[in-house]
Structure 1
């Protein structure tokens, strides 16, 4: 595909971020022979799987589904891959497709401003040595993700705490808790994963739980060598396994979006898992959720409950009141002396975009627009921001299957829109502002009856108004069809490349 030529544009496409989204977009750009560069703030690729290195970190989506459809991996060691394995897979993809020459590491995007006359984006980029330079891009694809801007809870006095403070998303690999008094705040996915290995080493462990989580037993068999050999020699077997995993995931989506009662069997399995693992009735009561399964992300673990049942582990449900030099105090008057405090408190899902300081048409800013209400079209384009695309943007995360499927659909749409822009001799493409409100209203209507909004809990899926602005309220197949055959009349192609 030809690149739009303009002496004042440095690159036809700038990709921000080098996780699954950025790497996938880079491969597509290379296949289309676009002039592109990937800006990565860290010193290596990987995104979520580079940053999240806490003990026990694994993916909760089956390995063979958590990979690019065009680059299947026969060598996964077990049903659910560890963070290390996923990072190795991404490193392999970068080398196979020779992407490293397009990567600019230690490059932090400080500001992005749209130039209407040039139909291009001016990016202010700070590099690792503190230097700042300008970059002009004909289009920008943001692969910054929703799961890397850590949320740190506001605890009065926490700045005076002299012990170690850690967030699961910024884990120091050299950290040891052997013989230490450890506290963990949070019992979501990262909490469920990190608590068992910490419990093994700590002198004592206090888990500060605000809301109990639904935990299913984890069926996580290792793949025997003979099966790995079969997948390597007969890729069609691996594709069939992947298709089976995908179909199983899609069956579950109805339980989340339309009929939460459909999750009753899974709820019974989770409660049976709790009963068989926790014999103490008081502890079991603390760990029993009072909201519908699926309202928060469902977790899987065979080691979480046994860890909480250990003699040296305490589950504290009284809210945290404040902190001092050596401890946390809870509202019931208890003081918890700690050497290490771990925040397993998740992420600010829109913070990734806020730090980019994006200014679009007419001086409007994405931060201000999204503070009022996030408005996008299929999570990929936003009105007033031409030639700007989001990968895994609002309302495109999934609770039932692999987000890599969504990423690939989005890469296909972005590639199609850029190709169409160039073929028409235009300089800019954006979604028509008139089509977005009706689209968002449909998402709101579909989300209203979902378990995320009607399940009786609060979660990171919902905004301050209680609206779902994170998850796609439907199946992957539907989303893929919408993006594979876009209604081009929904987009404006403006300007003249000549």
Structure 2
């Protein structure tokens, strides 16, 4: 094999919030691990990038700080309960520093291929670092792009922490090809001014968190001629606070008892 090969007990793909949490506990239990992050910095979606995939300029967390924090590193009592994305980013950076996780993180390392190795593979030789295969069910090969070259990591454990919002879902509608207006995915929306929404009629398809956030921004700052949300089903919309407490502090069993549609 011509590529440079590096052996690790565990490889973590992605250094967003989930990847950081995984890395912290791998370090605590003395794993030999590495975090592979394709960009130049941490925090994934929570790092605002004006011309790239990530949060909107006005995004705040939609759960309170009590339910969106690392178990061993709570937010300060004086901090607001629904924080701006910039505070989440700084919080993640301070957590990385507290546990020295930067020492285990490789930036601009993009995993382009993850594949299981067969026992007949040439890598299963007497010189392989993981010689006692009885301790592991399998080995994984990660091909990683670093600038204009590729390196290979071999590991018995891989934690995929790329996030479920990693790949935007684009929907095709009948007649879309003849529509003369502009169609964008919510990941491309930063704010009404940046996206030049003034004077436009806007239809938001779906009633998820991003849709409601964008609608609020368009109505309050967009100077649009109209803003409409289209949803194929009903939705339960709760305020951030009920009786002075953040809504997500109430037992979740009540929320789960509500019908999904009405």
TM over 0.5: yes
In 1, the alpha carbon distance for the partners of 2:189 and 2:80 equals 24
Partner of 1:145: 163
1:28-80 deviation per Cα after TM superposition (whole angstroms, max 9, x unaligned)? 12223322111122332113323542254222211122101101110663222
In 1, the alpha carbon distance for the partners of 2:57 and 2:242 equals 17
Does residue 224 of structure 2 align to residue 203 of structure 1? yes
Structure 1 position 196, deviation (Å)? 1.2
Partner of 2:206: 186
1:14–1:141 CA contact under 8 A, matched in 2: yes
Partner of 1:217: 239
Matches within 5 A, 1:19-30: 19-30=16-27
Structure 1 position 27, deviation (Å)? 1.2
In 2, the alpha carbon distance for the partners of 1:92 and 1:177 equals 35
Structure 1 position 156, deviation (Å)? 4.5
1:9–1:138 CA contact under 8 A, matched in 2: no
Alignment equivalent of 2:144, drawn from 120, 125, 131: 125
Alignment equivalent of 1:16, drawn from 8, 13, 17: 13
| 4+ residue runs over 4 A deviation | 156-165
Structure 1 position 116, deviation (Å)? 4.3
Structure 1 position 91, deviation (Å)? 1.7
Partner of 1:31: 28
Q: Which ranges of structure 2 fall in alignment gaps of 5 or more residues?
A: 48-52, 125-137
Structure 1 position 88, deviation (Å)? 1.9
Partner of 1:47: 44
Judged with a 3 Å threshold, the aligned counterparts in structure 2 of structure 1 residues 80 and 107 are, in CA distance, closer, same or farther, namely same
Aligned residue pairs total: 232
Partner of 1:64: 66
Structure 1 position 181, deviation (Å)? 0.9
Structure 1 position 254, deviation (Å)? 5.2
In 2, the alpha carbon distance for the partners of 1:215 and 1:160 equals 34
Q: What secondary structure does 2:184 align onto?
A: strand
Structure 1 position 202, deviation (Å)? 2.8
In 1, the alpha carbon distance for the partners of 2:195 and 2:78 equals 28
In 2, the alpha carbon distance for the partners of 1:143 and 1:185 equals 28
1:22–1:38 CA contact under 8 A, matched in 2: yes
Judged with a 3 Å threshold, the aligned counterparts in structure 2 of structure 1 residues 148 and 113 are, in CA distance, closer, same or farther, namely closer
Q: TM-score, normalised by structure 1?
A: 0.41
Structure with greater helix percent? 1
2:7–2:154 CA contact under 8 A, matched in 1: yes
Judged with a 3 Å threshold, the aligned counterparts in structure 2 of structure 1 residues 42 and 215 are, in CA distance, closer, same or farther, namely same
